[in-house]
């Protein structure tokens, strides 16, 4: 029950980041922002907030630890991550930085409703890489979900210019479409990689360790994007961009700060869902949030919602329902099998005990 509650909490955090992140990033671009590396940096630059829950976890470990000797090996350490998991997290962090740049480029060229539909295809790639890396089993329903999401992307790509923003060229729009699709592929790879890193960690995986993993990933992803900002002279341009921001300089920095915080919710929630569920579950939840992102984009930014978007959305939801139904069905069968195995084991134990009982005979 406790794990289920924590899964619900992390899923809620994931939902806030998933729905709010693209909206606030699009606001930055619509109001005059143009720095791709800067927005990529904002996606992961809010990682210092992880220090707060890590500190709480540290003091909780100290409080619950029984009195021991003062041996250094027995002391409670703030960080528990071992070199093996640290190196894996660092590598995934660099991939995360690249993924952030690809996604930022796509959002700068596409409406949120379009980019959200493309991002939904990450379930296809998550399922594929989960099968290859962590031996995630495929069923008819999961294969059907993957096929439907693939078709949904194809339908959306048939009329790529129908919702093109006025200030974006045809070449820029197509490139944005491809960049967003590439970001989905990379994101689909990263989630199973995180799950694989946990499996190979050779240490007990706790939520505190999950937070440490996230901290390392974001640290290296931030370093990757910082190098990009330095090469692109973003640090010199940001003050001028703030003064020219259409909503005003103060609101520019408000948008920047909230962007960093909301995007960190997205990453932190995703890592939590993987820990308490699976990498494939994180992809499914992301697909569930698709209609919410679509509706918010249409309401907030008055984006067009053409027929092909409606068809793509319907296929995406159909794919999710197929997967979710199959998952429920498999879980029911698994529970029934466990019950039968438990009953069979209990009967066998009783028979074994009855066979080993020796009757006590009384002497006449």
Residues 6 or more apart whose Cβ sits within 8 Å of residue 188: 122, 123, 124, 125, 126, 127, 128, 129, 283
According to DSSP, residue 364 is labeled -
Cβ atoms of 10 and 285 closer than 8 Å? no
Q: Write down the pLDDT at residue 338.
A: 67
What pLDDT is attached to residue 1?
A: 62
Q: What is the per-residue pLDDT for 9?
A: 85
Please give the structure tokens belonging to residue 13.
């955090």
Q: Which letter does DSSP use for residue 303 in this model? A: -
Evaluate whether 259 touches 17 at the Cβ level (below 8 Å). Answer: no
Q: How far apart are the C-alpha atoms of 364 and 361, rounded to whole Å?
A: 9
Supply the DSSP symbol for 136. Answer: P
The answer to whether 197 and 29 are in contact (CB under 8 A) is no
Q: How far apart are CA 125 and CA 296, in angstroms?
A: 25
- H helices of 31-82, in order, are 36-44, 51-64
Dist CA 351 CA 216 (whole Å): 55
Of 89, 94, 71, whose CA–CA distance to 79 is shortest?
A: 89
Q: What is the pLDDT along the chain (364 residues), one digit of tens a residue?
A: 667 787 888 888 888 998 898 899 989 999 999 999 999 999 998 888 888 888 888 888 777 766 554 555 556 778 888 999 999 999 999 999 999 999 999 989 888 878 877 887 777 787 788 878 877 666 777 777 777 777 776 776 665 556 677 778 888 888 998 999 999 999 889 888 988 888 888 888 787 888 898 899 999 999 999 999 999 999 999 999 999 999 999 999 999 999 999 998 888 888 788 777 776 677 677 767 777 777 788 788 877 767 776 777 777 777 777 766 776 676 677 667 666 766 666 666 666 666 655 555 454 4
Cα–Cα distance, 184 to 186 (Å, whole number) = 5
Q: Where are the domains of the chain?
A: 2-61+77-327
Show the tokens assigned to 154. Answer: 């194809």
**Torsion angle of alpha carbons 291, 20, 281, 333, nearest 10°?**
-50
Closest CA to 176 of 118, 262, 227: 118
Whether the Cβ atoms of residue 179 and residue 100 lie closer than 8 Å to each other: no
């Amino acid at each position: 029950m406790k794990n289920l509650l924590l899964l619900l909490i992390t899923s809620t955090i994931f939902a806030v980041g998933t729905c709010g992140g693209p909206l606030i990033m699009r606001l930055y671009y619509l109001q005059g922002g143009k720095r791709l590396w800067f927005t990529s940096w904002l996606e992961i630059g809010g990682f210092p907030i992880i220090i707060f829950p890590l500190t709480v976890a540290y003091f909780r470990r100290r409080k619950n630890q029984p009195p021991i000797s003062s041996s250094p090996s027995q002391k409670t350490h703030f960080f528990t991550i071992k070199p093996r998991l640290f190196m894996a997290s660092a590598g995934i962090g660099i991939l995360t930085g690249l993924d952030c740049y690809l996604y930022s480029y796509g959002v700068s060229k596409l409406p949120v409703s379009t980019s959200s539909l493309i991002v939904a295809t990450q379930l296809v790639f998550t399922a594929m890489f989960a099968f290859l890396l962590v031996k995630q089993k495929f069923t008819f329903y999961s294969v059907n979900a993957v096929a439907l999401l693939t078709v949904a992307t194809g339908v959306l790509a048939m009329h790529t210019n129908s919702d093109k923003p006025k200030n974006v060229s045809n070449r820029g729009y197509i490139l944005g479409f491809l960049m967003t699709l590439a970001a989905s592929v990379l994101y689909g790879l990263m989630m199973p990689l995180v799950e694989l890193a946990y499996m190979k960690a050779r240490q007990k995986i706790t939520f505190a360790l999950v937070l440490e993993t996230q901290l390392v990933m974001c640290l290296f992803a931030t370093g990757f994007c910082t190098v990009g900002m330095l090469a692109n002279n973003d640090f010199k341009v940001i003050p001028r961009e703030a003064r020219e921001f259409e909503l005003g300089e103060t609101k520019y920095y408000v948008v920047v700060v909230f962007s960093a915080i909301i995007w960190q919710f997205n990453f932190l929630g995703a890592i939590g869902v993987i820990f308490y569920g699976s990498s494939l579950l994180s992809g499914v939840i992301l697909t569930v949030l698709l209609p919410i992102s679509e509706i918010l984009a249409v309401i907030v930014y008055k984006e067009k919602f053409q027929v092909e978007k409606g068809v793509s959305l319907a296929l995406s939801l159909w794919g999710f329902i197929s997967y979710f139904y199959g998952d429920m069905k498999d879980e029911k069968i698994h529970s029934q099998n466990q019950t039968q195995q438990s009953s069979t084991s209990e009967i066998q134990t009783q028979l074994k005990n009855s066979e080993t009982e020796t009757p006590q005979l009384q002497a006449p």
